[in-house]
Structure 1
Amino acid sequence: MRRLLAICVGIFTATVAWAGMPNVTFPSIDGGTLDMADWSGRPVLVVNTASRCAFTDQYEALQDLYDTYRDAGLVVLAVPSNDFRQELGSAEEVREFCEMTYGIDMPMTDITAVTGAKAHPLYRHVKSETGFVPRWNFNKILFAPDGSVVDTWGSKTTPMSRPLRDAIEAALSGD
């Protein structure tokens, strides 16, 4: 019986690991927690965002991207960050701004560090695996359904750009 229990626990632990890390969670902008393991088996585009940036209008295109591919399985996760000193003062202000200005309904985290010593563990993991660190707001990381990094893009790559959409479509089709 103990052996069976150990096997079951091992299988469960393996299924909740995401991007090679167990327990990848973020505080949600709506309260509660966003657990990346809930999206296991789906591609996830993670984007560090800011409300007062020259690239802030990309929120509209991120929502369009999410609307285009969500039924196929894509998750777009916005990660508001003040690392570049361009975010509003509170998560409530960010949520209200995004909903009122852009009609955002994609998952969003609370304001989160993405660079430096206080970077969220997911961003530290991506740095250790790929060397990628956001150099500005609206950098993008596409994770495959198994949690591995497919590719990364900087701020100038728009959400609806052909290279990004091609990578998403390949991740959705399993290529």
Structure 2
Amino acid sequence: MKNLLLITLIALTPFTFKAQAGSVITESNNVEASSQCLAFMQHSEKKLHAKEKLDLCKFTAGKAILIVNTASHCGFAPQFTALETIHKAYKDKGLVVIGFPSNDFFQEEDNEKDTADICFVNYGVTFTMLSPVHVFGSEAHPIFKQLADETTAPKWNFYKYLVSADGKTVKHFNSRVKPDSKEFINAVNEIL
């Protein structure tokens, strides 16, 4: 019986060490992945009119980010079309586009379903849209607080923020700068 116990322990010992070594590697990979994530993007947010939450850290790690505060009934809402074009043209080049609907300027739907219909049906948006948030003031979402600290808080809907993958460069563009303008396209290419 003692021999059987001893043989069993010896047989299991290498397996245990391999399992521990494997878990150390996995933890190391997770640390490496999270180190590529910008600190202010360490949030999980609900997708627009969905139950699914998106880990923004994993979603944006190692990529340049275009963050836009949107509003369905704003005069700048046609910019959704150009933002979608940017998304399609640059998603494989390392740019992530994220829209944050907001009613801070009183031009967003009260119902998320209606916001989603305007974005996805009317404008054909396929880039990531999240649930509505506040984008300025004391209730501003932490991402927008950080962007305000780096540049400026949105003064209206469709402020655009380009953030480099390493977070060292943050550029902002007001509502009047169209996403398909030469100025904006040049900035996207520079940040990539």
Q: Establish whether residue 62 from structure 1 lines up as the match of residue 83 from structure 2.
A: yes
What is the number of residues matched between the two proteins?
169
Match of 2:132 in 1: 111
Q: Secondary structure at the match of 2:188?
A: helix
1:43-99 CA-to-partner distances (Å, cap 9, x unmatched) read 110000000011011111111111111122211111100000000112211111111
Shift of 1:132: 1.1
Q: 2:34 aligns with which of 16, 31, 55?
A: 16
Mapped to 1, the partners of 2:24 and 2:139 lie a distance apart of: 35
Cα RMSD of the aligned pairs, angstroms, is 2.3
Q: State the 1:28 CA deviation.
A: 1.1
Normalising by structure 2, report the TM-score: 0.78
1:70 aligned partner, one-letter code:
K
Change (3 A) 1:92 1:125: same
Asked if 1:122 corresponds to 2:140, the answer is no
Alignment of 1:132 onto 2:138: no
State the secondary structure of the residue aligned to 2:100: strand
SS in 1 for 2:130: coil
Larger Rg: 2
Take 1:35 and 1:149, find their aligned partners in 2: how far apart are those partners? 22
Q: Which amino acid aligns with 2:53?
A: T
Offset at residue 167 of structure 1 (A): 1.7
Aligned to 2:182: 162
SS in 1 for 2:73: coil
- Mapped to 2, the partners of 1:6 and 1:22 lie a distance apart of 25
Q: How far 1:171 moved relative to its partner?
A: 2.1
Structure 2 CA distance for partners of 1:160 and 1:116, relative to 1, 3 Å: same
Structure with a larger share of its residues in helix: 2
Alignment partners' CA distance in 1, 2:117 and 2:91: 22
Q: Distance in 1 between matches of 2:99 and 2:141?
A: 13
Higher RCO (C-alpha 8 Å, min separation 6): 1
SS of the residue 1:112 aligns to: coil
Kept in 1: contact 2:38–2:61 (CA 8 A): no
In the aligned structure 1, how far is the partner of 2:77 from the partner of 2:171?
Answer: 22
Q: Which runs of 5+ in 2 are unaligned?
A: 1-22
Q: Which residue of 2 aligns with 1:141?
A: 161
The percentage of aligned residue pairs carrying the same residue is 31
Report the Cα distance in structure 2 between the residues aligned to 1:64 and 1:22, rounded to whole angstroms: 24
Equivalent position of 1:89 in the other structure? 110
Report Cα offsets for 1:84-140 as digits up to 9, x if no partner: 000011221111111111111110010111111111111111222x24100000000
Stretches of structure 1 lacking an aligned partner (at least 5 in a row): none
Q: Return the offset for 1:147.
A: 3.2
Structure 1 residue 16: deviation in Å? 2.2
Please tell me whether the aligned partners of residues 136 and 153 of structure 2 are also in contact (alpha carbons under 8 angstroms). Answer: yes
SS in 2 for 1:123: helix
Matched residues in 2 for 1:125 and 1:10: separation?
28
